[in-house]
Amino acid sequence: MTHHGLKALGASLLLTALLSPALADEGVTAWRLFVSDHERGVVSVVDPDARETLASFDIHGPASLYRSDSGETVFAVQGAADRVTAIASGISFDDHGDHADIEVEDARLLDVAFEGGKPSHFVEHGGDIAIFFDGDGRAMTTTERAILDGSAEVLEFDSGAPHHGAAAAFANHVLITEPHPEDPSNLPVGVRVLAMSGEAIGDLHECPDLHGEASTGNIMAFACAKGLLIVQSQNNQPHIEQLAYSDDLPEGKVTILIGGRGLQYFLGNYGASAVVLIDPMDDDAFRLVELLTRRVHFAVDPIRAKFAYVFTEDGALHQIDVLAGKIVNTASLTEPYSMDGHWSDPRPRVAVAGDHVVVTDPLAGKLHLVERDGLEKAGEIEVEGKPFNIVSVGGTGAVDDDGDHDHEASASHDHAHEDDEAEEHRHD
């Protein structure tokens, strides 16, 4: 099979990798981990290099965490507490074209919260944010800029009925799930395109059992029972096509989707003991990567884009080479976390912070740090309670301390985008 799309992007990835060392010498690298507790409404801010907790914020309930593309904002989606809280990460980059300045401040709770019935899926696309509230069947959209400016102007869009849905802002329109017509407690049956006025445009794009959405590059996808909906921008309108699962895949479907950074691909679950690599631009779009035990969580590497990571219930972390389509490293990290039992039991989650892969170990009350190269253990950080969901923000930038930019410091920068966290939500 050919992977022309992946290869083309791989070349630019190599360029970035070659240019980064010069920056590392003269720039400043800062990473922060945001970790939510499985039982309590707390988000801890952890410095993975100093190995210490910098702050912990009280919120209203246990949260799924998402980070924005820019990394300036972290969102705590508290489904049971009917709200989404915004946190300024304290790390921002000012892009000067040939380099980026990094600014590091304290993380802080923003005075912006989105309230509504049972918020579930959170989607950012290019700075536009959409939050779907299952209990209301409505979506709120806003922008990261507005949130950081403290002016949370919000638009609302109605799907027609409460259901476990999702929405996304895309190409000056809003994509919103269509509830199941007979029983909205079932998964949605498709996607509608709405104008910003709320008016529906065109026909329903069918996607039975819709669950899971992600973006990679300029492509968005929704996962359905028989394949994906692939969304691209055409004449500043969303253009949606079906991509059926290939015949050589076993019985199954994707219900969690994340998007590659630096390489254009999607990574999804597929059955209990596999993940699937998806390159929608390839004739042979689906490559299954089988696991020895059941999958717990997975994440993409935002910097070394050819890697992704899967954690399995035997307590092992696996590194996947996305280009080769196979596991290249495995490290045993935690006690087993069986996938038997309740779907929402505390189990590890994975994030990538620079050269480290970080795995939460909720029952042991700690984070495991692992070297990206070779998956050697690099230490542990204790976190009070049951550290569960995790996102990381950070990267390397030049320091603009006297207003005179050191333009020789860098020819490139790595904004270190964390993946769209494989979503965690409550289906009860």
CB of 132 to Zn ion, least distance (A): 9
CB of 344 to Zn ion, least distance (A): 12
Q: Compare residues 164 and 318 and give the one whose CB is closer to Zn ion.
A: 164
Q: What string marks each residue from 3 to 32 as x (binds Zn ion by CB under 5 A) or -?
A: ------------------------------
Q: Compare residues 122 and 170 and give the one whose CB is closer to Zn ion.
A: 122
CB of 133 to Zn ion, least distance (A): 12
Q: Which stretch binds Zn ion (CB under 5 A): 98-106, 187-195, 318-326, 419-427?
A: 419-427
Q: Which stretch binds Zn ion (CB under 5 A): 111-119, 168-176, 357-365, 420-428?
A: 420-428
Nearest to 42 by CA among 31, 53, 30: 53
Nearest to 201 by CA among 174, 231, 229, 171: 174
Q: Which stretch binds Zn ion (CB under 5 A): 72-80, 230-238, 298-306, 417-425?
A: 417-425
CB of 131 to Zn ion, least distance (A): 13
Residues 309-348 within binding reach of Zn ion (CB under 5 A): none
CB of 63 to Zn ion, least distance (A): 15
Instruction: Rule CB under 5 A: say whether 295 interacts with Zn ion.
Output: no
Residues 231-270 within binding reach of Zn ion (CB under 5 A): none
Q: Compare residues 262 and 271 and give the one whose CB is closer to Zn ion.
A: 271
Element (H, E) at 18: helix 4-26
Determine the Cα angle at 305 with ends 300 and 308, to 5°.
Answer: 30
The CA distances from residue 51 to 92, 196, 315, in Å, are 21, 45, 22
> How far is residue 344's CA from residue 328's CA, in Å, rounded to a whole number?
29
Structure token digits, residue 418: 């964390």
Structure token digits, residue 362: 């909720």
Q: Compare residues 224 and 322 and give the one whose CB is closer to Zn ion.
A: 224
Q: Compare residues 295 and 415 and give the one whose CB is closer to Zn ion.
A: 295
Q: Compare residues 67 and 425 and give the one whose CB is closer to Zn ion.
A: 425
Q: Compare residues 125 and 425 and give the one whose CB is closer to Zn ion.
A: 425
CB of 212 to Zn ion, least distance (A): 7
Q: Compare residues 199 and 428 and give the one whose CB is closer to Zn ion.
A: 428
In degrees to the nearest 10, what's the CA dihedral of 105, 109, 114, 115?
170
For residue 148, give the 3-state DSSP assignment: helix
CB of 122 to Zn ion, least distance (A): 10
> How far is residue 233's CA from residue 171's CA, in Å, rounded to a whole number?
6
Q: Compare residues 257 and 398 and give the one whose CB is closer to Zn ion.
A: 257
CB of 259 to Zn ion, least distance (A): 16
Q: Which stretch binds Zn ion (CB under 5 A): 256-264, 313-321, 377-385, 418-426?
A: 418-426
Q: Compare residues 297 and 372 and give the one whose CB is closer to Zn ion.
A: 297
Residue closest to Zn ion (Cβ)? 425
CB of 423 to Zn ion, least distance (A): 6
> How far is residue 71's CA from residue 68's CA, in Å, rounded to a whole number?
5
Residues 84-113 within binding reach of Zn ion (CB under 5 A): none
For residue 287, give the 3-state DSSP assignment: strand
Q: What string marks each residue from 174 to 193 as x (binds Zn ion by CB under 5 A) or -?
A: --------------------
The count of chain residues that interact with Zn ion, using the rule CB under 5 A, is: 1
Cβ–Cβ under 8 Å, residues 300 and 372: no
Q: How far apart are the first and last CA of the chain?
A: 41
The set of residues, in sequence order, having a beta carbon less than 8 Å from that of 341 and lying 6+ positions away, is none
DSSP state of 82: T
DSSP state of 69: S
Q: Which of 84, 425, 426, 428 binds Zn ion (CB under 5 A)?
A: 425
> How far is residue 23's CA from residue 98's CA, in Å, rounded to a whole number?
11
**DSSP for 160-229, written as a single string:** SS--S--EEEETTEEEEEEPPSS-TTSPP-EEEEE-TTS-EEEEEEE-TT---EEEETTEEEEE-SSEEE
> How far is residue 417's CA from residue 419's CA, in Å, rounded to a whole number?
6
CB of 321 to Zn ion, least distance (A): 29
Q: Compare residues 79 and 260 and give the one whose CB is closer to Zn ion.
A: 79
Residues binding Zn ion (CB under 5 A): 425
